[in-house]
Amino acid sequence: MTKVSKALVTEASHTLRDAFIDYNMRFGQITRRAKKRFEQRNWTDSRADAVERIDLYERSVNAAVTEIKELTSNCDDQKTLWHEIREKYSRHIQAYPDTEFFKTFFNSVTRRIFSTVGVDAEVEFVATDVKPTEYARSQIERHVYRNRGSLRHLFDEALGEYSCSVPWRDIERTIDYITAEIEAYTASLGTRASVIQVEMMQTVFYRSTRAYLVGRLEGNDWVSPLVIALKNTDEGIAADAVILSENDVSMLFGFTRSYFHADVTRVSAAVAFLRSLLPATPIAEIYTVLGRAKQGKTDRYRTFVSHLQQSDDQFVFARGDKGMVMEVFTLPSFPVVFKLIRDRFAYPKDIARQDVLDKYRLVFNHDRAGRLVDAQEFRSLEFDKHRFDDELLAALLDGCAQTCSVEGDKLIVSHCYIERRLSPLNLYLQEADED
């Protein structure tokens, strides 16, 4: 390798590290506004905060790209320079929590600078480098309440930990309601089911017009999620719902919901705790619903790459009626679909490609409220051509030629959306049993 200035490498590494720290600080500032918005019932500004926070990552990356380009522009050997920057940067971030976030930010910058197609292991962190290993050994900040014979007393103590400038509408009635819901739930589990302790995350989760207290119930041989939804009424704070089943909590934290504003110190620890409640929910979706959409995207890609290496099935058309705007395909063994915008739209569609991009952007910024699927936008993906069904490959190269091209044995997809794979409603209704 050509020698490059050590001073330049150090300065560039510090610049990128500080750029991510600045982004993370501003992300936290916006997130912490949620408590005040909830207390004041200021839903208009709450909505504006959600959009501002979503847009923040892109703005921060663009600013970092501009700054780092100016700093490194006089170096003739950019690949050698960036290889050394990556190595120095890797050492500089070790003292910080959630190091995988730093690495994802670094990759976002380098991919813009080099217009990377696929993965360039010389200048960016590869999938295994950004594996969220830290969450496995982190402990979430939480309160633990032992059941000393009265659930009512337990939740009197637990709700007393919740700090809010708005008084409870009727704290005794709220405690009675929560206790009754949990007792009914444990009764449904059988006569031996009793609550030994309750763990609650210290962080309150805010979204739209609700605040959520998140934790779990623990018995002798069972564990259950526990989410208490709070609303701010004219008369004060009240419990709106007590959510106890894994299925219901997974829908609350699901891919058809907008992102929470939850001010957690270590995101990886929060992900670990939530994953313990929702073992069937992909880590990528938990990152995303916590507002860390870019990290969710990174983890989905990391998981997908790992799966490709361990599977041999082919990409095929996704089930369902063909759409007029998108070509949709899937890998049967992996639960996502890939959606590519067609070059031409069949009659009666009269929209342009930019209209489609704008609509996806609207969904990304919008309160999906359980109705719309969260889609992640990917650019410059590289696939092995032989993994594609012949008919699908021909359709992509013909109908999506602006997006797809073949280079040697690789299929290059310059732009696509990836979503969780769902059963089309018409097929579901045909195939589901009567119950």
Taking only the tens place, the pLDDT of each residue in 329-342 is: 999 999 999 999 99
pLDDT, residue 138, reads 57
Inter-CA distances, 332 with 56, 284, 400, Å: 35, 19, 21
The token pair that represents 88 in the structure block: 């120095």
Is 189's pLDDT higher than 80? yes
pLDDT, residue 370, reads 55
Is 45's pLDDT higher than 50? yes
Task: Quote the CA–CA distance of 312 and 217 in Å, as a whole number.
Answer: 41
pLDDT, residue 31, reads 98
Per-residue pLDDT of 307-329, as tens digits, reads 999 999 999 999 998 888 999 99
Task: Quote the CA–CA distance of 26 and 37 in Å, as a whole number.
Answer: 17
pLDDT, residue 200, reads 96
pLDDT, residue 350, reads 75
pLDDT, residue 367, reads 59
Is 356's pLDDT higher than 80? yes
Is 413's pLDDT higher than 50? yes
CB distance 266 to 202 below 8 Å = no
pLDDT, residue 369, reads 61
pLDDT average, residue stretch 69-79: 90
pLDDT average, residue stretch 269-285: 92
* Rounded to 5°, angle at Cα 102 from 97 and 107: 160
- Domain ranges across the chain: 6-130, 142-291, 316-431
Name 359's Cβ contacts closer than 8 Å, sequence gap at least 6: none
Exposure string over 154-173, b if 16+ CB within 10 A, otherwise e: bbbebbeeeeeeeebbebee
What is 11-60 written as a DSSP string? HHHHHHHHHHHHHHHHHHHHHHHHHHHHHHT-HHHHHHHHHHHHHHHHHH
Is 64's pLDDT higher than 70? yes
Q: Taking the CA of residue 181 as centre, how many other CA atoms within 13 Å lie in the half-sphere pointing to its CB?
A: 19
Per-residue pLDDT band for 1 (boundaries 50, 70, 90) equals: very low
Per-residue pLDDT of 363-376, as tens digits, reads 766 655 655 678 88
Task: Quote the CA–CA distance of 14 and 11 in Å, as a whole number.
Answer: 5
pLDDT average, residue stretch 223-239: 96
Per-residue pLDDT band for 258 (boundaries 50, 70, 90) equals: confident
Task: Quote the CA–CA distance of 345 and 394 in Å, as a whole number.
Answer: 17
CB distance 418 to 364 below 8 Å = no
CB distance 81 to 72 below 8 Å = yes
Which uninterrupted H or E stretch holds 80? Answer: helix 78-92
Average pLDDT, the chain: 91
pLDDT average, residue stretch 39-63: 95
Is 135's pLDDT higher than 70? no
Share of the chain above pLDDT 90, in %: 74
The structure's pTM equals 0.90
Per-residue pLDDT band for 119 (boundaries 50, 70, 90) equals: confident
Residues taking part in catalysis: 374
Is 129's pLDDT higher than 70? no
Task: Quote the CA–CA distance of 186 and 111 in Å, as a whole number.
Answer: 51
Q: Taking the CA of residue 152 as centre, how many other CA atoms within 13 Å lie in the half-sphere pointing to its CB?
A: 7
Strands (E), 172-324: 197-207, 210-218, 223-233, 236-243, 316-317
